[in-house]
Amino acid sequence: MTLASLLAGPPSLRAWRRICAALDDVDALEEVDAACVGWPDELRRAPGRWLRGLLDGRPQPRLRVTRSVELTLVGVEVEGDRLAWIEAPELAQVTILRVLDDRFADAGVRRWLESANFLGIVELTLASGISDRGAQLLADDERLAGLRSLGLFRNQIGAVGISALIARPRPWRRLLLGRNRMGVAGARTLAGPTGLAELELLDLDCNRLDGAAVRALVSGPQLAGAKILNLSNNRIGGEGCAALADAPMDRLEVLYLHGCGLDDDAVATLLRAPWLSRLRNLALSDNALSMVSIERLVARPTLSLGELDICHNPGILEGAAESLLRGAPQLAGLRRLCL
Partner 1 sequence: MSFIDHKLREINCKLVYYGPGLGGKTTNLQYVFNKTRPEAKSKMISLATETERTLFFSFIPLSLAEIRGYRVRFHLYTVPGPVFYDSSRQLILKGVDGVVFVADSQEERFEADVESLESLESNLAIHGYELAKVPLVLQYNKRDLPNAVAVAELDRELNTLKRPAFEAVASAGTGVFETLKAIAKPVVQGLRAGDGS
**38/335 with CB nearer partner 1:** 335
Tell me if residue 119 falls in helix, strand or coil: coil
The distance of closest approach from Cβ of residue 199 to partner 1 in the complex, given in angstroms and rounded to an integer, is 16
206, 179 contact by CB (below 8 A): yes
The distance of closest approach from Cβ of residue 285 to partner 1 in the complex, given in angstroms and rounded to an integer, is 8
- CA dist., res. 214 & res. 208, Å (int): 11
* Conformation bin of residue 233: beta by default, left when phi > 0, alpha when psi is -120 to 50: left
Question: E-assigned strands of the chain?
Answer: 68-73, 96-101, 123-127, 149-151, 174-176, 201-203, 228-230, 254-256, 281-283, 307-309, 336-338
The distance of closest approach from Cβ of residue 194 to partner 1 in the complex, given in angstroms and rounded to an integer, is 23
**90/203 with CB nearer partner 1:** 203
Q: Which residues are at the interface with partner 1 (CB under 8 A)?
A: 12-14, 17, 45-49, 51-52, 55, 70-76, 98, 100, 153-154, 176, 178, 203, 205, 230, 232-233, 256, 258-259, 285-286, 307, 309, 311-312, 335-336, 338
123, 147 contact by CB (below 8 A): yes
CA 207 remoteness from chain centre: 14
**163/230 with CB nearer partner 1:** 230
**59/169 with CB nearer partner 1:** 59
> Strand 254-256 vs strand 281-283: parallel, antiparallel, or unpaired?
parallel
The distance of closest approach from Cβ of residue 252 to partner 1 in the complex, given in angstroms and rounded to an integer, is 16
Residue 198 per-residue DSSP state: S
**11/221 with CB nearer partner 1:** 11
**133/280 with CB nearer partner 1:** 280
**14/168 with CB nearer partner 1:** 14
The distance of closest approach from Cβ of residue 178 to partner 1 in the complex, given in angstroms and rounded to an integer, is 7
Would you call the peptide bond into 12 cis, given omega within 30 degrees of 0 as the criterion?
Answer: no
The distance of closest approach from Cβ of residue 142 to partner 1 in the complex, given in angstroms and rounded to an integer, is 26
162, 135 contact by CB (below 8 A): yes
The distance of closest approach from Cβ of residue 301 to partner 1 in the complex, given in angstroms and rounded to an integer, is 26
> Strand 149-151 vs strand 336-338: parallel, antiparallel, or unpaired?
unpaired
30 contacts: CB under 8 Å, gap ≥ 6? none
